[in-house]
Structure 1
């Protein structure tokens, strides 16, 4: 739950780029996208939109107590994309991330360094993969055996 909430707040890809495969008109809107038009999907903006996530700036892992089946947010939580263009290694990426975290946390207690920002700022000049301005300094304290 913590990992999923973390990548909701700071998805590695801030946006997805897709090309419209066929002409599409949004129902109930006067908006049509022609075939071949490039579409930018603002993942981080959607993940932090209060319309979809209550108190989006608050770290609340319990949002993920159940599988993400809320129809309002089903296609909003996109840290790995969705559909035929979704990341093929989503499951492996989650498993490797959890295994890496478990390995580190089994040996160290991790806490924010004194100068760690309380609310990190994503570097607006990041291209595809996002980065945090100044990084996030952490303290690693060995655990006693």
Structure 2
């Protein structure tokens, strides 16, 4: 009987045995699927936090416009100061993560002036049409936006209201 070379015998024995062996398969599957799952989870958390920021900007703009509508000066300070305090109480926390908050009011006087350069930067008087503009710019929470070239995100709301007469 003729003996087969050692390499042939190892190949005949090794390949079928390794094909049946399933040890370590979970590690390989995790190495392939794990990064995708982690990326999707971080993306979902990023989206949820961005939606929270967007909702807080919406709430802040509504609250600021309500303060201006009444045209009644508060007991201390001005309406503009009170509106700024309310806005900062709602969206000021986004400055803690490196964000910026921008608040502006434009008094157009009448609806026909809206969209023109005919305005004053104040909260207006009785019957004036005023635009309340709130913007919050923040970096991403998880770093996922930076992977796609987005360095910062801006959430903005503009409310156009007529002060009470």
| TM-score normalised to structure 1 length | 0.23
| TM-score normalised to structure 2 length | 0.21
The structure where helix makes up a greater share of residues is 2
Larger radius of gyration: 2
